[in-house]
Structure 1
Amino acid sequence: MNLIGYMEERFQNLELIPSIYNQWGTGIHFCLGENIYQLKANEELNLKMFRVVYEQTSIIFNELFEQNDDIFLVTNKYKHKKEKCIRKLKVYQPFLKCKNHLNQILVKTYPYPFEINKAEEYEMQQFSLLCKPRDLRVTELLKAASNEDFPLKPKFGGYSIDYPDVFFVNITKNIIFFIYDDRGCEVIALDFKRIRPLYEKYHDWVEEYKCM
């Protein structure tokens, strides 16, 4: 099964771009960091806040994914059309335990999905890899997704105009997990029963939810 076939069968009309929660009828939007500000009074990074975010995203991931689940690790790279090389994206190689998986990554090009001036000059390349959580350095991946706006490591590399967006698509449980940055993350599912325990256990982190 490839990503396009799976999405057409299970999540019809959903675009794997930021704000998946707003596109789907069943999901949870989590607020991360417990209202702790990213910077201290002296403008230094508040590392305590980031430690809280790392812990929260790890907890959410482990509630949703088991080591043997089949998943797509999906990455959107936003680039200028004149940029020809697609080998610079540093999302997969640093975070894959087995480098043989690099040969299995698929890529498809789409129109640039956001409204900006001269959007027609840009495009989105969407990379996907069918794997299992046990194949990934998940903790480091979650940190890199959270570190988008700050000079912290680990960090995704190889992007040209926007930080890459990374989605975890659990095809065993029909759940999609997306960390948009240190402020929050989104979980959507075909069936709210799959994510109800998460909502009940970590209700204090919930910004909003919907179950159709």
Structure 2
Amino acid sequence: MNITEYLHEKFPSVELVPSIYYQWDIGIHFSLGGEIYQFKENDGLNLERFQLVYKQAFAIFNKLFEQNDDLFLVTNVYKHKMKKQRTKKLKVYQSFLKCKSMLDRIQVRTYPYPFDLDESTEYEMQQFSLLCKRKDIRVNELLKAASNEDFPLKPKFGGYSINYPDVFFVNMTKDIIFFVYDDRGCEVIAREADLIRSLYKQYYDWVEEADRKRIEDGLGDLF
């Protein structure tokens, strides 16, 4: 089974692009970083915030994925159709897989550019996917790279010419999808509410009040 077949069967209305939380009724949007601003008064980066973001993202991931879970590691790369020379080398799988022999199993498909833009026909999205297990991935470093999108911090993804790559973790064993969009937050959706109800209770304080009613409508009885 490839990622397209899996989504068609388990999450038929979902496209793996940002804002999966709004594409599926059962899901949670977490805000990361607390109330710590990204910059200090001297305009230097506030590393305390980023350490908290990394810790929160890993805590959520750790609740959703076990070592032997089967998952798709999916990466969207956004690029010019004609200006191939501007695209950097893809640095998601090469840098964050423990076993480089798995690189030969990566699948790729090309899609229309998914975002509103006046010249959107000039761009495209390449989607890379790899069926693997959690234990095959350098999870901590991968989550840090996803969180570092807008800032001069390492690790960092490569492979983009117009937008930073988006990386999705699709848990086939549990039917859960997890996406860190940047240091501000992450999204979780699940096929069944029972799969993430305890996650919402445990990290309730990381959810904005404006999101709680929608989340609780999707998760049903909570307490």
What is the rounded CA distance, in whole Å, between the counterparts of 2:2 and 2:147 in structure 1?
Answer: 27
What is the rounded CA distance, in whole Å, between the counterparts of 1:98 and 1:166 in structure 2?
Answer: 19
Shift of 1:157: 1.0
Q: Which residue of 2 is the match for residue 14 of structure 1? A: 14
Pairs aligned (count) = 212
Q: Which residue of 1 is the match for residue 154 of structure 2? A: 153
What is the rounded CA distance, in whole Å, between the counterparts of 2:193 and 2:183 in structure 1?
Answer: 25
Q: Write out per-residue CA displacement over residues 156-205 of structure 1, whole angstroms, 9 at most, x where no aligned residue.
A: 01211100000000010000000000000000001111001110111000
RMSD between aligned alpha carbons?
1.2
Q: Which residue of 2 is the match for residue 78 of structure 1? A: 78
Amino acid at match of 1:100: S
Q: Which residue of 2 is the match for residue 31 of structure 1? A: 31
- Kindly report which structure 2 residues correspond to 1:85-124, keeping only aligned pairs within 5 A, or say none: 88-124=89-125
Q: Which 5+ residue runs of structure 2 have no aligned equivalent?
A: none
Contact 2:10 2:191 in 1 (8 A): yes
Amino acid at match of 2:148: N
Q: What TM-score does the superposition give when structure 2 sets the normalisation length?
A: 0.93
Shift of 1:87: 8.2
For residue 35 of structure 2, give the secondary structure of its aligned residue in structure 1.
coil
Q: Which residue of 2 is the match for residue 126 of structure 1? A: 127
Q: Write out per-residue CA displacement over residues 106-157 of structure 1, whole angstroms, 9 at most, x where no aligned residue.
A: 0000000000111000000000000001000000000000000000000001
Q: What TM-score does the superposition give when structure 1 sets the normalisation length?
A: 0.97
Amino acid at match of 1:176: I
Amino acid at match of 2:34: E
Shift of 1:206: 1.4
Q: Which residue of 1 is the match for residue 144 of structure 2? A: 143
Runs of 4+ in 1 over 4 A off after TM superposition: 84-87
Q: Write out per-residue CA displacement over residues 49-81 of structure 1, whole angstroms, 9 at most, x where no aligned residue.
A: 000000000000000000000000000000000
* More helix, by proportion: 2
Shift of 1:84: 4.3
For residue 42 of structure 1, give the secondary structure of its aligned residue in structure 2.
coil
What is the rounded CA distance, in whole Å, between the counterparts of 1:40 and 1:165 in structure 2?
Answer: 27
Identity %: 67
What is the rounded CA distance, in whole Å, between the counterparts of 1:87 and 1:67 in structure 2?
Answer: 31
Q: Which residue of 1 is the match for residue 42 of structure 2? A: 42
For residue 58 of structure 1, give the secondary structure of its aligned residue in structure 2.
helix
Q: Which residue of 2 is the match for residue 169 of structure 1? A: 170
Q: Write out per-residue CA displacement over residues 20-49 of structure 1, whole angstroms, 9 at most, x where no aligned residue.
A: 001110000000001110000110000000
Amino acid at match of 2:53: V
What is the rounded CA distance, in whole Å, between the counterparts of 2:33 and 2:147 in structure 1?
Answer: 11
